[in-house]
Chains A and B, each alone.
Chain A
């Protein structure tokens, strides 16, 4: 066989493998969308039908009404945005001090930070619940927001690794010009770390948006539910309304997919960076 033919066969084989594998990943999505638009009678059709008939867009409006979706969405958005803001304010600041500032006790503080990263969240879960009960915060979103303003160890660690890679020359120059340490951070170093901060912000955003255990523990009254918690409650009460359940699942996934298409590079580089440096 000549080399060109071999190449062609190889390429066809490659595409075949890719297409078979993609089917496993894409079919559930198609099924999700398809079910979300089906009338109940067709949902339980056997054998399964792919194309909704008719396209029942009202599934979405019914689902949204049934579970107070807009309230849940608002709650989720507030928790997500404010906690991400907290991470952006606190984590780079602390990470910068670990990477570039010299002070007594820095080594110990950093060592303890690393140690804390190894502790599973379940260990502190119960005492934190009691703390927030004492503060009267259970039933509000404060337990899911306030800690982020005081730093998250894994993010601090990742950002520190990033700051370590930035040259000192700029800092020295700015210091000779009489800039204060905080100004150097805010006007020079923070902007330089923008890409890493964006990646960390994205992790927090995703984490908050999709979090289930936090809301399950702390959001005890229905008016404060997030979409995750709302969907889980809906499922456990109305388990066979598959059309509506798929509609809510689609609605809660959509914002993340939109975000992904805008910030694709950040998603990928963030994961890669945490995989290599972590």
Chain B
């Protein structure tokens, strides 16, 4: 009997203990996660729901506003400046992102060569990424000054009459692309890491097959670099669409000349915080979200065709 009672106790106690232990691990887990559970709710989830609601109202900080259904979205589609801001943003993205990939990979390959003094070169390429965006904008405004800037001064040296850069409608966005390319050091670091992951055996095998430098680059380096190119492509696109600080500083928030520098988020900010059309701005934010998601989705779908993972 005693034995039986013992065995019963042995059977029941663990399950009760197990349950208590399970409850305890739940409590501890949630305690650890509690800052983020609160933060997620207060600073992300609730604001997001509010933002959806606002986008269907004429809300502004000055007045409560009323529910207007889809009219913010419909108005946006008839707002020429909205389309202009989309055009500017796409223009920047379409030129900047491929250029940054091309130059980023080329620089990384150069910095991956085995020659003396490479640490110094690598530092030089990385330094511009440390310059705060506002300072970067101010510095480049000066470099690209139409009359007294260094760039036009150097061009004049070669007998070229420099363009008006940030002062000209046709040249303002190329100027922005140029100064953004100055700061591609972070992407270069990621490409460098990607290059480091390519085993030497592949190059040795290609060498034995008699491949020259171009063939090695085309058939070994680039395909094996596609996962990091993919990452930088996605991040580059997302970043390009959220461009704000550079054009805002360059144009004192005006988007001049002739709105050629009014980028999407700048126009959103202007609507929300200069005209206090917060409902309208919220609608813009959600359209931005949809555009970014769609682009990312497209890149992900096509990635199956062009991204090669090692060992697959």
List residues of A whose CB falls within 8 A of some B CB. 11, 14-15, 17-18, 21-22, 24-29, 31-32, 35, 43-48, 89-90, 93-94, 96-98, 101-106, 109, 112-113, 116, 118-131, 133, 147, 149-151, 153, 156, 181-182, 185, 206, 209-210, 212-213, 216-217, 227-229, 231-232, 235-236, 242, 245-246, 248-249, 252-253, 256-257, 260, 267-268, 271-272, 275-276, 278
Contacts and interface: CB of A to CB of B under 8 A. Distances in A.
9 contacts: A22-B125, A48-B149, A101-B32, A103-B28, A116-B44, A120-B241, A213-B244, A253-B132, A271-B189
B33 A246 contact: no
Interface stretch (B91-99, B107-115, B301-309): B107-115
Contacts of B87: none
Contacts of A213: 244-245, 269
Interface of B: 25-30, 32-33, 35-40, 42-48, 50-51, 54, 61, 107, 110-111, 113, 115, 121, 124-128, 130-135, 138-143, 147-150, 153-154, 156-157, 182, 185-186, 189-190, 193, 228, 231-232, 238, 241-242, 244-245, 248-249, 252, 265, 268-269, 272-273, 278, 281-282, 284-286, 288-289, 292-293, 296
Given A46-B148, A181-B28, A249 B135 contact: yes
A212 to B, nearest CB: 4
A141 to B, nearest CB: 16
A104 B29 CA distance: 8
Given A32-B139, A94-B36, A272-B189, A125 B272 contact: yes
Given A14-B113, A90-B36, A25 B127 contact: yes
A182 B189 CA distance: 36
A210 B132 contact: yes
A46 B285 contact: no
Contacts of A156: 36
B44 A246 contact: no
Given A181-B28, A231-B134, A256-B131, 15 more contacts: A11-B115, A22-B121, A25-B128, A44-B148, A112-B45, A119-B289, A122-B284, A123-B285, A127-B50, A128-B47, A130-B278, A150-B35, A256-B130, A272-B189, A272-B193
Query: Chain B CB within 10 Å — which of A105, A116, A125, A272 has the most?
Result: A125
Given A116-B44, A210-B132, A232-B249, A130 B156 contact: no
Contacts, number: 257
Nearest to B142: A242
A109 B156 contact: no
Contacts of A18: 110-111, 113, 115, 121
A149 to B, nearest CB: 7
A32 B149 CA distance: 12
A155 B193 CA distance: 20
A119 B43 CA distance: 12
A123 B286 contact: yes
Contacts of A14: 110, 113, 115
A240 B36 CA distance: 46
Nearest to A49: B153
